[in-house]
Amino acid sequence: MSFRIRQIQTTATGREIVREREVTGDRLTIGRSAENDVAIPDLAVEQHHVVVSRGEGRALAFEAAGTLGFTLDGRTRTSETVRDGGAELVLGAFRLDFAAGPGEEIEVTVRRMEERESGAGAGTHGFRLTSTWLPGKRPVAWALLIAIFLAFLAVPIWTNLGREPVKPDYRKPGQTAMDASWSTGKLSLAHHGLEDNCEACHVQPFVAVRDGACLTCHEDIGDHSAKPRLSLARGPLSWGDQVQRDIADVFHKPGAGACTDCHTEHEGEGRMQPPAQKFCADCHGSMDKRLKTPLGNAADFGKAHPQFQAAVLTGQGDRTPTRVSLDGNPREFNGLKFPHELHLSASGGVAQMARRLGAGKGYGETLECSDCHRPTADGVRFQPVDMETNCGSCHSLVYDRVGGTFRTLRHGDISQMRADLAAADRVPRRPIASGRKRPGAYSPGGLYYGNFAPPQRASVPLASRMLSTRGVCTECHFPSGDGVMPVVQPKRYIEHGWFDHEAHKREKCTTCHAAPASDSATDVLLPGIKTCRTCHLGESAAKPKIPSTCAMCHSYHPRGDAAPARVGKDADERKSQT
């Protein structure tokens, strides 16, 4: 058993000097002292540092002789055994390579190490991700930052500032590039054409949308009221609203009464959302305190809304209606004697008549509202009742029969009626309705024939009798002068509120109109606000009640006879119906 020690030294010129010697025995001492089998001239090494002893076969046991450890195969140890005779011992700046040589010999090569000598060459940074292909955090961050600034700031702002000043045209796309990425949401249906034309409304950078931008297209929109009156009507702001207003003023946001106060855009496709009732209630909620007005305060349909005021012809012969509250139980004079109760009764003559005329003529068991009242084409209101079509099937104006033809009085034209009657020949003729004929010898010409009928009057009546208090005309009309009083059927009772019968057609007429109990034509059969409130309450109403904002019935911008420009869901429904 022996160790072959090979000590390698390198000269200044780089030449290697190898000294070989043999140490017999199964023990090898290593240290700085010259007494050792292998002397290492390094101050970091102890005088007696390591003892290597041979074990079975090629096993080597390394044992620290002093207190300091040693580095064996890269690990710091004080005691270690290797089985196959191969090991690498590092002491200070020296490396000792142990390897099994021929026979029982163990070769030990001693050399001074280079400055740095390790597996991967460099330090430990190879453990980190920085040594991979992964791009560094900084370059990625910069690239992203530049890309975002270019695409979402530089390009839109550059093209926006450099655009040609032209009048906005919703049929053309705008000149600003890539500003679609700035859109906070789709425009409403009405403004859909402006989707690619942001600068049509956003005219100046950093200036909130002004009314002028809206009025470029909506030039004919009417004002709710004159400007000074509007300002007067607007109530004092709440603390929170005042703060908001002040902040908005600091940023020059267009103030109270601007289009954008009520109309907000970029809320998504579909119809514009109806303005909240708060916008109306701000003024109308307590307007009587600030303004002289016949209008009652209104803030919420369910909680604070005055009774309806209907335009009613209150006096005989009135031509212009007066607005009266339904609370005052107003009487209306329209020139007709028409008790609804009589006509809608399930028993009695009218019902009997309807039954006799039968389903063939469109009648049921009793007279229905729809037998006389026909809706207009749009379904919103009802056509005026027409004598010939609606009354005439029962209230016949036939006065004569010539052969198989009936002659009927001209309705609505008294002079014509007089002329017709005056010109009629008055030859006695068979009555329009004869008595029952009796059979056999009792029949006319028979032995026992007898005529017990009242004596025949002149077959055609006189106009004066028709117009007299017991005449056929005065069954329904009031005599006046040499004719009858004119009949007025108002088209609309509520002029500033909108009611759509079409939207309510699933309800029965009598749910709202108390016609079956009305025994006089002077009854105003309009339902009061209480009736509406059985279904409709204010904006915050919870199901099953219907949340009803002001915009459901009223329009801010004056619209005359047209329906309020309601927006939102109900407008869609209305569109599809008409």
Among residues 69, 86, 321, 339, which is the contact residue for other proteins, using CB under 8 A?
Answer: 86
Question: How many chain residues are in contact with other proteins, going by CB under 8 A?
Answer: 66
Q: How far apart are the first and last CA of the chain?
A: 115
- What is the rounded distance in angstroms from the CA atom of residue 391 to the CA atom of residue 386? 7
Q: What is the closest distance, in whole angstroms, from the C-beta atom of residue 364 to other proteins in the complex?
A: 47
Pick the closer one to other proteins by CB: 512 or 571.
571
Among residues 26, 37, 42, 97, which is the contact residue for other proteins, using CB under 8 A?
Answer: 97
Give, as ranges, the residues between 111 and 170 that touch other proteins (CB under 8 A): 117-120, 123-124, 126-129, 131-134, 137, 140-142, 144-145, 148-149, 152-153, 156-157, 160
Does residue 497 contact residue 554 with C-beta atoms inside 8 Å?
yes
Does residue 110 contact residue 38 with C-beta atoms inside 8 Å?
yes
Distances from the Cα of 253 to the Cαs of 250, 260, 457, 577, in angstroms? 8, 10, 87, 40
Q: What is the closest distance, in whole angstroms, from the C-beta atom of residue 52 to other proteins in the complex?
A: 16
Among residues 9, 21, 25, 73, which is the contact residue for other proteins, using CB under 8 A?
Answer: 73
Compute how many other C-beta atoms are within 10 angstroms of the C-beta atom of residue 3: 23
Q: Binding pattern to other proteins, positions 222-251, x when CB under 8 A?
A: ------------------x---x-------
Pick the closer one to other proteins by CB: 267 or 368.
267
Q: Which residues contact residue 4 at a Cβ distance below 8 angstroms, ignoring those fewer than 6 apart?
A: 20, 21, 22, 23, 101, 105, 106, 107, 108
- What is the rounded distance in angstroms from the CA atom of residue 274 to the CA atom of residue 567? 5
Pick the closer one to other proteins by CB: 155 or 488.
155
Establish whether the linkage from the previous residue to 439 is cis, with ω within 30° of 0: no
Q: What is the closest distance, in whole angstroms, from the C-beta atom of residue 69 to other proteins in the complex?
A: 11
Q: Which residues of 364-394 are buried (b: 16+ CB within 10 A; e: fewer)?
A: eebbbbebbbeeeeebbebeeeeeeebbebb
Q: What is the closest distance, in whole angstroms, from the C-beta atom of residue 289 to other proteins in the complex?
A: 23
User: Which residue from 229, 228, 256 is spatially nearest to 242, judged by alpha carbons?
Assistant: 256
> Interface with other proteins includes 208 (CB under 8 A)?
yes
Q: What is the closest distance, in whole angstroms, from the C-beta atom of residue 178 to other proteins in the complex?
A: 10
Q: Binding pattern to other proteins, positions 259-278, x when CB under 8 A?
A: -----x--xx----x-xx-x
- DSSP H helices, 432-577, are 463-467, 509-512, 529-533, 569-577
* Binding residues for other proteins (CB under 8 A): 71, 73-76, 83-84, 86-88, 90, 97, 99-100, 117-120, 123-124, 126-129, 131-134, 137, 140-142, 144-145, 148-149, 152-153, 156-157, 160, 179-186, 198, 202, 205-209, 240, 244, 253, 264, 267-268, 273, 275-276, 278
